[in-house]
Structure 1
Amino acid sequence: MKRMISDAIGFEKKFRLKEDKKFEHYKIMLPKLRENDLMIKIAAISISTLDTQIRQHIKGPKKPYILGFGGVGIITRMGSTHPHLNVGDRVLYVNKVGKYGSYSNFQIVDGRSVVKLPDSFPTDEAAAFSYSFFLAFEVLFKQLKLTPKPGKNQGNLLILNTSDGLGATIIQLAKWAGLNVAATIDKNNSEIWIKNMGADTVFSQSTNLSQELTAAELTPIDYVINLDTEKEKSFDQLGEFKDSAKILLLHFVKRKYKDLDPDFLNFYCEEFLDTTFASDEGINYSREIMELLVYMWEKKLLRSILTAQLNGFSDKNFYGAHKLIENNPNFRHLVLVNE
């Protein structure tokens, strides 16, 4: 089968928006379809803080860099026959970042990681969850070793620096699993949105957390997840919970930090996605978690995490999406629809 060229949006070198550099349009040669592969015409993708951090810090030889960690699309070609999948199916998937990400009209993905979407799950809503649900599940049930069943856990979870769709998804999964959840937000974030995700209480980052948690009857804290490790100042509040809680620091990319407590768990999103799709076990695991996402949506166990939508895969729209996420705390998770 002939290899195909796809229009894609990417960049040659990591950059910050203030450097006045832009995304560029490329024509890329897609990989050859292997036995397990599918060609997907991408319909919608999610963009969040993970995208903006990787754009600023990505390293390696994969140029141009085409970001994007999966989304929703239509199967257009198949490497071989796949049980339960056909050309024309609308599907959901997650993938690693690199040279062939989902900032593209077409993408080659491993069919074992793909889940067919029911009509009840809208394209934009499914794309919004995609990798955020995958990362949230991994953090709660693999890293913190909670039981991935409804109501089977007890205790209090504190999420620091809750702002984007990942934080919103962690809240919903933690509540589903049986935990009480307290969340802290920047003063510019929407407290109403975070409460709508299911948080039992929401505090400002600047408050005295110990006093606030005691007043809310959410002590002792059993688990802490810090979602803003890009600012080392955000580590300052962790010491008071060290004796009672299992503490996880979520890093979007792997960087060097000063004096990290060796007792803290460290989870690196980019590295996790990379290693997951390097093994058959990881590929199958990603599909199983997407199947759970579809099940929970159909059972009305999830609330929408979509905060904004842009239409059209263009260099200007990708730049605008990254700018919105970096500059507006209430647009930390959005969907780009490929018209």
Structure 2
Amino acid sequence: MSSRAIELPTTMSAVAVTGEFPVDDPRCLTDVTVPLPEIGPRDLLVEIQAVSVNPIDTKMRRRSGDALARGEQPVLGYDAAGVVRKVGEDVSRFEIGDRVFYAGSQLRNGTNARFHAVDERIVGHRPTTCSATEAASLPLTALTAWEALFERLGASIDSNGSLLVLGGAGGVPSVMIQLARALTGLTVIATASREESRDWVVEMGAHEVVDHRRNLAPQVLDLEPDGIDLVFTSNSSGHAEELAEIMTPQSHLCLIDDPEDFQIAPFKRKSISIHWESMFTRTVFDTDDVDEQGVILDRIAGMVDDGRLIPTVGETMIGMNAATLAEAHSEIERGHVTGKIVVRI
């Protein structure tokens, strides 16, 4: 392939962090005009049609101090759906005009912009049966859920034990529940508290729902007297004793959060394996299998087109601008978001 492309502008609109301000300050994000990204040999230049906003976006906004001190104005955002407008000379999987979706990299500027440059190896062909808005809800959460379930927890098509998914209405849990139901024989128990979130996790496919505002042990052990084989959580702080109590010997726990004081000792007696999952590991360290993320996204797209997985859009906002994205950040920081917040151009 060549690096030829349709006629493109030299600059583009984007939303950047230009100062350290709380989310309720209108200066927390700023509309800027920046040069169009340059692409490398393996890169795609994608015209963005929709992005989704993740908790990590809000964390990166709050952690932009070092970049700001260097005089940079970071553009945030990972999830995106769009159309390929230019390809690098070594690109082999995509052509100009292809519709794609992906979760980006922490080592490059983000997707909160009109155009974005991304390594083709971590990009998937967009599902043909859904909109850009729906597709944008999936990449980061689907990759995290897939890696956590199959690569960290070790689930497979032959798995027939039990899986507990804490905070089941969140973005990653919403996809994990669906993957477990579609691709394994696991009994899926999800936690939720509000009526809305309980209804959501049932729609995602959970066999049973328990209330995480109450003591989990009696609720879970009433459903699975022998204990839980696999546990996934994005909120592990303060739950070590409780989780160790309800898990079976030699079981597996996967977490994706950053607990300030994670207690590992309660898991020793049962020889419980502890796993962390970060979907950015492959891109940050350029691992030998970094292209697996593109493969996974193509599998996810196939599942959507086959009707085995539904996009997890919880709320749609219109307009790629600082005000809209700040509103999305604010909702995430307040908590209780069901599914994903997607911003459509």
Shorter-normalised TM range:
0.7 to 0.9
1:239 pairs, out of 235, 240, 244, with 244
For 2:146, the equivalent position in structure 1 comes to: 137
Q: Does 1:34 align with 2:45?
A: no
RMSD: 2.7
2:340 pairs, out of 325, 328, 333, with 333
Q: Does 1:119 align with 2:128?
A: yes
Gap change, CA 1:83 and 1:20, over 3 Å in 2: closer
1:49 pairs, out of 55, 76, 98, with 55
**CA displacement at 1:90 relative to structure 2:** 1.4
For 1:107, the equivalent position in structure 2 comes to: 116
**CA displacement at 1:196 relative to structure 2:** 0.6
- The answer to whether the 8 A contact 2:50-2:80 is kept is yes
Q: Does 1:87 align with 2:93?
A: no
**CA displacement at 1:145 relative to structure 2:** 1.7
Identity across matched positions, percent: 23
Q: Which moved more, 1:191-200 or 1:75-84?
A: 75-84
Q: In the alignment, residue 124 of structure 2 is paired with which amino acid?
A: V
How does 1:1-339 map onto structure 2 within 5 Å? 4-13=10-19, 15-18=21-24, 21-57=27-63, 60-61=66-67, 63-80=72-89, 82-83=91-92, 85-147=94-156, 151-176=157-182, 177-187=184-194, 190-217=197-224, 219-229=226-236, 232-244=237-249, 245-251=251-257, 254=258, 256-257=260-261, 259-261=263-265, 265-269=274-278, 272-276=279-283, 278-279=285-286, 281-327=288-334, 329-338=336-345
**CA displacement at 1:165 relative to structure 2:** 1.6
- The answer to whether the 8 A contact 1:158-1:182 is kept is yes
- The answer to whether the 8 A contact 1:307-1:333 is kept is yes
**CA displacement at 1:21 relative to structure 2:** 4.6
**Residues 229-279 of structure 1, C-alpha deviation per residue, up to 9 Å, x if partnerless?**
4xx23445223135533122222xx5643544476524253xx41543542
Gap change, CA 1:85 and 1:107, over 3 Å in 2: same
Gapped regions of structure 2 (runs ≥ 5): none
- The answer to whether the 8 A contact 1:325-1:333 is kept is no
Q: Which moved more, 1:173-182 or 1:6-15?
A: 6-15
Gap change, CA 1:16 and 1:161, over 3 Å in 2: farther
**CA displacement at 1:324 relative to structure 2:** 1.9
Gap change, CA 1:35 and 1:213, over 3 Å in 2: same
**CA displacement at 1:188 relative to structure 2:** 6.8
Distance 1:118 1:242 in 2: 37
**CA displacement at 1:118 relative to structure 2:** 4.7
Gap change, CA 1:210 and 1:184, over 3 Å in 2: same
Scaled by the length of structure 2, the TM-score of the pair is: 0.85
Gap change, CA 1:14 and 1:48, over 3 Å in 2: same
Gapped regions of structure 1 (runs ≥ 5): none
- The answer to whether the 8 A contact 1:10-1:25 is kept is yes
**Paired positions, count:** 329
